[in-house]
Chain A
Amino acid sequence: MNDLRELYEEVILDHNRNPRNYPKKPEDCNHTAHGFNPLCGDEFQIHLTVDDGVIKDVGFEGAGCAISTASASLMTEAVKGKPVADVEALFEEVHRVLTEEEQVGHPEDLLGKLTVLTGVKEYPMRVKCATLAWHTMHAALNDQSDVVTTE
């Protein structure tokens, strides 16, 4: 039960009910990628406006479970206005913290508000939900046209 409360924290539920930067495709967006986990049915488009090495604007479209939706929403808040290099580093950090078995360092120091996503670690089948938006954003930044999946 405590695991469940940690997974479905108020922040997650809030971002699921009222996703930020959603549904949104910035008019001047210049990077887009498509993420799809066919077994789950979670499917998102991540749109980025990158200007002078900085993420000026971000939005996403699509639909998924509470975890994938909240993760995408939290991600858009976390990356907006940040240099691409910092965002790529954050992506690596989120991916590492969510997928590694042994916890190295304190997740709050590394992830701040995004620490709420770590509740998913008690439910290994759901990690792919939390990471989908992040991998999709990473693909968008690197102009990968293949559909992204974390299944």
Chain B
Amino acid sequence: MTAFAEAMVTEPLDTILDVAAIRRDFPILHQRVRGGPLAYLDNGATTQKPIQVIDTVSSYYSRDNANVRRGVHELSQRATDAYEGARETVREFINAADAREIVFVRGTTEAINLVAQSFARPRLKPGDEIIITEMEHHSNIVPWQMLAQQTGAVIRVATVTDSGEVDSGVFESLFNDRTRLLAVTHVSNALGTVNPIREMIRTARRYDATVVIDGAQAVAHDTVDVRELDCDFYAFSGHKLYGPTGIGVLYGKMEHLASMEPYQGGGEMVLMVTFEKATYAKPPARFEAGTPNIAGAIGLAAAIDYVKGHGLAAIRAHEKELLDYAQRCAAAIDGLRIIGTAAEKGAILSFVFDQVHAHDVGTIMDSEGIAIRAGHLCAMPVMKRFGIAATARASFGIYNTREEVDRLIGGMHKVLEVMGR
């Protein structure tokens, strides 16, 4: 009996979450794609939306839609209450001290750009140093490169080990009295590595460096407490958290937000405007110029209620079980290599075949209705580090099942069968 078959018969069924009930909440999952029922394993790219989120957004547009913080009419009041209520929901979700520390943005990318331009740009001098890691997503590299070009600051990169963990010796050695900023991902989108950000933040504190955490791959999969972490900024996207696209969050400590320049100019972010000058509103309005994504924020709050209803600890345990099972089965396949074997991993399984390009893997999976990611995953430096052009990636979420993992493993065998003929 193969290890794969053995694992199939000896493992218990899903017990941590009522996955069958959860799946009923996600209308999109119930369809056939090409040759089979949809197995959606691309949650690292974006997650599907439960009916609770879809209905909340739909109901907002059907009953309450108006602009926020202006106008005195009833609908405007309802929209404003719902939008600011969403901010409070986010605050509680990440345990920020104050709802005013929650800035609504388009997503993680915009949040990081906001920190780079409004916080860091006026503060950095030529020769100041920004530390990032080799496993960052492009969205946590390029904004810092642009900033370095604008200010003369220098980017230092902490390398990763063969297992996909930040090399702690190298990491420590990068800090010095020129270090101003540490920008690091909480969970790697390409490798799945959960970084020891508590320890990393502690190291940064010793050098008085400001810490920005990219939480895009983290918040849907485990509890995040920004006060316990003591990070300065924490960024995440709504759409990877079962919420709408186009909405995201920048958490910033009030002491920072209060001293930052505006990001964009426009309505909502000002107190008083004459043709000579404007005085800026306090955070978070200072950073939310123009009409915000009101429906997105309200939908995000519904998504947060949804994951909290099931409990992040249970979600974490469920996804860990799926990942462990998938990794065990995948490791037994000849000619397949798992990229990212850190001791602490999120629900991400990246893999390559010795002889088959990732896009061919993606297409063969797709022919069976299995949706995975294939490509450089917006993390080209990671690809280079592991000597590959692209990787295939399965990433799990709240609604995935062991049967879907079985189909993924079946797909891996099919790749060998189709391409090995």
Contacts and interface: CB of A to CB of B under 8 A. Distances in A.
A8 B357 contact: no
A40 B375 contact: yes
Nearest to B391: A41
Contacts of B367: 1, 3-4
Contacts of B419: 8, 13, 66
A128 B389 CA distance: 17
A129 B421 CA distance: 21
Interface string A10-21: 100100000000
- Count chain B CB atoms within 10 A of each CB in A40, A42, A67 and give the residue with the most: A40
Interface stretch (B221-229, B248-256, B281-289, B358-366): B358-366
A41 B366 contact: no
B363 A41 contact: no
A123 B360 contact: no
A65 interface: yes
B21 interface: no
Contact of A7 (B357, B363, B383, B421): B363
A118 to B, nearest CB: 15
Interface residues of B, number: 19
Interface residues of A, number: 22
A1 B360 CA distance: 14
A38 B389 CA distance: 10
Nearest to A14: B421
Contacts of A38: 376
A81 interface: no
Interface in A40-72: 40-43, 63-67
Contacts of A7: 363
Contact of A66 (B35, B360, B366, B390): B360
A148 B356 CA distance: 24
B338 to A, nearest CB: 19
A3 B363 CA distance: 11
Nearest to B389: A41
A66 B375 contact: no
B392 to A, nearest CB: 11
Contacts of B421: 10, 13
A40 B418 contact: no
B368 to A, nearest CB: 8
A39 B376 contact: yes
A68 to B, nearest CB: 8
Contacts of A65: 357-360
B360 A67 contact: yes
A7 B359 CA distance: 13
Contacts of B356: 66
A63 B418 CA distance: 20
B34 interface: yes
B359 A126 contact: yes
B389 A123 contact: no
A43 B376 CA distance: 13
Contact of B390 (A3, A13, A41): A41
A34 to B, nearest CB: 15
A41 B360 contact: no
A63 B364 CA distance: 19
Contact of A63 (B35, B363, B366, B389): B389
Contact of A123 (B363, B383, B390): B363
A1 B366 CA distance: 10
Contacts of B357: 64-66
A129 B359 contact: yes
A50 B367 CA distance: 41
A3 to B, nearest CB: 6
B375 A41 contact: yes
Contacts of B383: 41
List of 8 A-B pairs having minimum Cβ-Cβ separation, nearest first: A41-B389, A65-B357, A4-B367, A65-B359, A41-B390, A66-B360, A65-B360, A8-B418
Interface of B: 34-35, 356-360, 363-364, 366-367, 375-376, 383, 389-390, 418-419, 421
